[in-house]
Amino acid sequence: MVKKTTKKEVTKKKSKAGQPSKFNQFKNIIKIATSHGNTDSQIAELCGVTPTTFANWKTQHKQYFETIKEIKKESDQEVVTALRMKATGFVRIKKTKIMNLAGIEVGTNEEEVYYPPDTKACEIWLTNRQPDDWKRIKHVDVTTLGNQLPVPIINVTNLQTKIGLDALNNE
């Protein structure tokens, strides 16, 4: 008696087309590259695969890429913390080695060093955290006066708009 094979059995027997996945050999590279802030397309390039292949790996290895998401969150949080410190100012302990004339270390000196707030870091923080109040917007006056050219584009913040452009022009 000859056994009939079903469609399910036939599809199970077929081998997958294409090359075997390179995913396993790049797991550590993916973790390290992610923790250093690389984007998915940059990581794909590091692995020598297309962004599409990298996206396929993300769907095929969901559990692994959940871990990668956590690494991204941790890295982002480190940056947020550093940006906040830079925006508000901070104190660090600076250690200096004390050497004698022969170049032998004879002790260490510790001193507190104050790093003042950085206005660019403040701007970055506020434009991202309070965009309605701090986002840079462009105001364009496209009216023409006779044969004159249009007034050039002026960059102002919403805060300046709230104060009033008339006050800025009178300075």
Q: Give domain status of residue 161, yes or no.
A: yes
Dmax over CA atoms of the chain, in Å, equals: 102
Q: Residue 131 has what pLDDT?
A: 81
Q: Per residue in 15-69, pLDDT tens?
A: 456 667 788 888 889 999 998 889 999 999 999 999 999 999 999 999 989 999 9
Interval 67-81 mean pLDDT: 90
Q: Residue 171 has what pLDDT?
A: 47
Q: Per residue in 82-94, pLDDT tens?
A: 999 999 999 999 9
Q: Give domain status of residue 155, yes or no.
A: yes
The tokens for 120 are 């660019």
Secondary structure (H, E, C), 43-58 = HHHHHCCCHHHHHHHH
Q: Give domain status of residue 49, yes or no.
A: no
**Alpha helices (H) in 25-152, listed in sequence order:** 27-35, 40-47, 51-60, 62-88, 119-129, 131-134
Q: Give domain status of residue 170, yes or no.
A: yes
Asked if pLDDT for residue 139 goes beyond 60, the answer is no
Count of structural domains within the chain? 1
Q: Is 25 helix (H, G, I), strand (E, B) or coil?
A: helix
Q: Is 37 left (phi over 0), alpha (psi -120 to 50) or beta?
A: left
Q: Per residue in 115-127, pLDDT tens?
A: 999 999 998 888 8
Interval 7-19 mean pLDDT: 55
Q: Give domain status of residue 149, yes or no.
A: yes
Q: Give domain status of residue 165, yes or no.
A: yes
Q: Give domain status of residue 89, yes or no.
A: no
Q: Give domain status of residue 114, yes or no.
A: no
Q: Provide the residue range defining the domain that includes 144.
A: 130-171
Q: Per residue in 149-170, pLDDT tens?
A: 555 555 555 545 544 544 445 4
The tokens for 13 are 């027997």
Calculate helix-pair angle for 119-129, 62-88, nearest 10 degrees: 130
Asked if pLDDT for residue 3 goes beyond 80, the answer is no
Interval 116-142 mean pLDDT: 80
Parallel, antiparallel or unpaired: strands 90-99 and 105-115:
antiparallel
